[in-house]
A and B are shown apart, each in its own frame.
Chain A
Amino acid sequence: MRRCLLAGTASWLAAAWLAAATPAAAFIAYVSNEKGNTVSVIDTDNWAVTKTIKVGQRPRGIDFTRDGKFVLVAVGDDDTIQVIDAATQQVVDTLPSGPDPELFVQDAAGKVLYVANENDNTVTVIDLEKRVRIGDVQVGVEPEGMAISPDGKILINTSETTNMAHFIDTATRQIVANVLVDARPRFAEFKRDGSELWVSSEIGGTVSIIDPAKREVTGKITFSIPGMRREAIQPVGIGMTKDGKTAFIALGPANRIAIVDGASHQVTKYLLVGQRVWHMAFTPDEKYLLVTNGVSNDVSIIDVVAQKVIKTIQVGELPWGIAIAQP
Chain B
Amino acid sequence: MIRLFVGAIGLGVLATSALAADPVEIGIGYLHRAGVKPTLSLVEQPAENDGLAGARLAIEDNNTTGKFLNQHFALEELRLKDGDDAARAAVALADRKIGFIIADLPADALLKAADAVRDRGTVLFNAGAIDDRLREEDCRANVIHAAPTRSMLADGLAQYLVWKQWKRWMLVVGSHEEDKLFAEALRRAASRFGAKIVQERVFEDSGGARRTDSGVTLIQRQMPVFTQQAPAYDVLVAADESEVFAPYLPYRTWDPRPVAGSAGLVPKSWDAAQDQWGAVQMQNRFLKLNSRHMTALDMQAWTAARMIGEAVTRKNSGDPKSVLDFLKGPDFSIAAFKGQRLTLRDWNLQLRQPILLADGRMIVSVSPQEGFLHQVSELDTLGLDRPETKCKLH
Contacts and interface: CB of A to CB of B under 8 A. Distances in A.
Given A162-B65, A203-B341, A204-B333, A231 B12 contact: no
A310 B17 CA distance: 50
Contacts of B218: none
Given A141-B65, A142-B281, A203-B341, A229 B378 contact: yes
Contacts, number: 81
Interface in B58-74: 61, 64-65, 68-69
Interface stretch (A19-27, A84-92, A174-182, A280-288): A174-182
B64 A162 contact: yes
B65 A163 contact: yes
Contact of A231 (B10, B69, B284, B378): B378
Contacts of B377: 229-231
Nearest to B57: A141
Contacts of B335: 160-161, 183-184, 202-203
A180 B313 contact: yes
Interface string A122-163: 000000000000001010111000000000000000011111
Interface residues of A, number: 34
Nearest to A231: B340
Majority SS of interface residues in chain A?
loop
B159 to A, nearest CB: 15
B334 interface: yes
B284 A119 contact: yes
B69 A178 contact: yes
A162 B310 CA distance: 9
B120 interface: no
Interface in B301-356: 306, 310, 313-314, 333-335, 339-341
B152 interface: no
| Chain B interface bracket (under 10, 10 to 19, 20 to 34, 35 or more) | 20 to 34
Interface in A155-207: 159-164, 166, 174-176, 178, 180, 182-184, 202-205
B256 interface: no
A193 B72 CA distance: 38
B284 A164 contact: no
Of A142, A162, A205, most B-chain CB atoms within 10 Å: A162
A205 B341 contact: yes
B379 interface: yes
A298 interface: no
Nearest to A168: B13
B16 interface: yes
B278 interface: yes
Nearest to B354: A231
A141 B61 contact: yes
Contacts of A230: 377
A34 to B, nearest CB: 12
Contacts of B1: none
A79 to B, nearest CB: 12
A160 B306 CA distance: 13
B21 interface: no
Given A100-B281, A138-B13, A176-B16, A203 B333 contact: yes
A118 B17 CA distance: 23
Contacts of B334: 183, 203
B58 to A, nearest CB: 9
A119 B282 CA distance: 9
A231 B64 contact: no
Contacts of B17: 175, 178
24 contacts: A118-B278, A119-B281, A136-B9, A138-B12, A138-B13, A140-B64, A142-B281, A161-B65, A162-B64, A162-B65, A162-B68, A164-B68, A175-B17, A178-B17, A180-B313, A182-B333, A183-B335, A184-B335, A203-B334, A203-B340, A204-B333, A204-B341, A229-B377, A232-B340
Considering the complex of A and B, which 5 residue pairs feature the smallest CB-CB distances, nearest first? A231-B340, A203-B335, A162-B65, A178-B68, A184-B335
Interface of A: 100, 118-119, 121, 136, 138, 140-142, 159-164, 166, 174-176, 178, 180, 182-184, 202-205, 229-232, 234, 253
